[in-house]
Structure 1
Amino acid sequence: MILINLLPHREAARKRQKELFFTQLGGSALAGVLVSAAVFLWYQARIEEQQARNDFLVAETAKLDAEIKDIASLQQQIASLRARQTAVEDLQADRNLPVHMLEELVTQLPEGVYLNTIRQENLSILMTGTAQSQERVSELLRNLTNNSPWLTKPELIEIVAGSAALAGREQRRVSNFTVRATLKRPAPAVPGAPAPAAGQPPAKV
């Protein structure tokens, strides 16, 4: 007996192929969505992790900035205290300098040289006076250069010939001079070093 299929088998085959295609297409789309979602979540987790690191670094940087400001403030306070300490030490060291200066001038002033004015500005001493001759002024400069431990760097600013009245109407030729010298500040004493001799400034290290 011969069986004849009168149903449209070609249309049915096409329908099955189309359904299979759409099923595969849907599965591929679903797989793509899942893969994309997994990749997105992975990157999102990495971004959040990096953001957490950045926030931690920002917080630590802020702490360091605050500490740096505190250190700078402490350094300024230390510098201010050191400046005050230096000023006090200089005042203590300088309070006896005028006495030493006058003692040195009395010691080093040659015979025939007379001082009219002495003006001190910090460590600079400006002296004006009268000498019997220019040689006496030269002797004063040599004494201050070679013999004085408290007055250094003598410099002749001006010397002018003049006259001085003596007894009666007699006039005598003299030299009016202006000399500048530097008053030497004693150096801080070194622990264990021998004490300086009387009238001598402490030796420098």
Structure 2
Amino acid sequence: MTAINLLPHREWARKKRREQFYLHVVLAALAGVLLAAVVYAAFEARIAVQEGRNQLLQREIAKLDAQIKEITTLQDELEALKARQGAVESLQADRNVPVHVLNELVLRLPDGVILRTIKQEGSTIAITGVAQSQERVSELLRNFSGSSTWLRQPQLIEIAAAMMNFNPGGQRRVFNFSLRVVLGKAEAG
């Protein structure tokens, strides 16, 4: 005899396929959620590592900023010390200038000329004096302009004839003069 299956096998197969489909959907969703959780955790770990690196860099940058500030302070102090050293060296170099100027005046002063005042104002020196003749004043100017290493660019301001009273010799005609010279530095100072 022939066996006839009267049970609703198609509905059971459909139901079984539907259950398998739902099971696969749930498993896929769980796998997706699990995969997303793993990716999220991996990214969170990488972010935490990078934040640790960033914090380390921030601490090192703060240390370097402090060192840069200290270096800037030291550079300012160094510049101030260099300025002081320059001032001291300038004073040291200018310490002997009056001696050189007076020595130069003695060497360049012709006979018959008497100096009354010597006054330095900055880099110029004002000189007043008395000469026996105008030629002596001209000779003094030539001596300064020609070969003087400390007194340069003489400029005659005024020359005037006057009578001077000498005790044993009576009165004599002299020439009062005033001139300016520029203070120079000798090359072999």
Answer whether TM exceeds 0.5 for this pair.
Answer: yes
Match of 1:109 in 2: 109
1:83 paired with 2:97, answer: no
> How far has the Cα of 1:21 moved from its partner?
0.9
Please give the per-residue CA displacement for 1:14-71, whole angstroms capped at 9, x wherever unaligned. 2111111111111111111122122222222222222222222221122122222222
Which amino acid is the alignment partner of residue 60 of structure 2? E
User: Unaligned regions of 5+ residues in structure 2, if any?
Assistant: 166-170
Q: Distance in 1 between matches of 2:151 and 2:45?
A: 79
Q: Distance in 2 between matches of 1:57 and 1:41?
A: 24
Q: TM-score of the superposition, structure 2-length normalised?
A: 0.75
Maintained 8 Å contact 1:125/1:183: no
Q: Distance in 1 between matches of 2:153 and 2:113?
A: 15
Question: Which structure shows the higher helix fraction?
Answer: 2
Which amino acid is the alignment partner of residue 51 of structure 1? E
1:163 aligned to which of 161, 164, 175: 161
Maintained 8 Å contact 1:124/1:183: no
Aligned runs of 1:119-198 on 2, under 5 Å? Answer: 119-129=119-129, 132-133=133-134, 135-149=135-149, 151-156=150-155, 158-166=156-164, 174=175, 176-184=177-185
Larger Rg: 2
User: Unaligned regions of 5+ residues in structure 1, if any?
Assistant: 188-202
Match of 1:194 in 2: none
> How far has the Cα of 1:75 moved from its partner?
2.8
Match of 2:70 in 1: 70
Maintained 8 Å contact 2:129/2:178: yes
> How far has the Cα of 1:92 moved from its partner?
3.7
1:21 paired with 2:29, answer: no
Q: Distance in 2 between matches of 1:180 and 1:81?
A: 34
Which amino acid is the alignment partner of residue 81 of structure 1? L
Maintained 8 Å contact 2:109/2:140: yes
> How far has the Cα of 1:182 moved from its partner?
0.9
Residues 59 and 137 of structure 1, relative CA distance in 2, 3 Å threshold: farther
Q: TM-score of the superposition, structure 1-length normalised?
A: 0.71
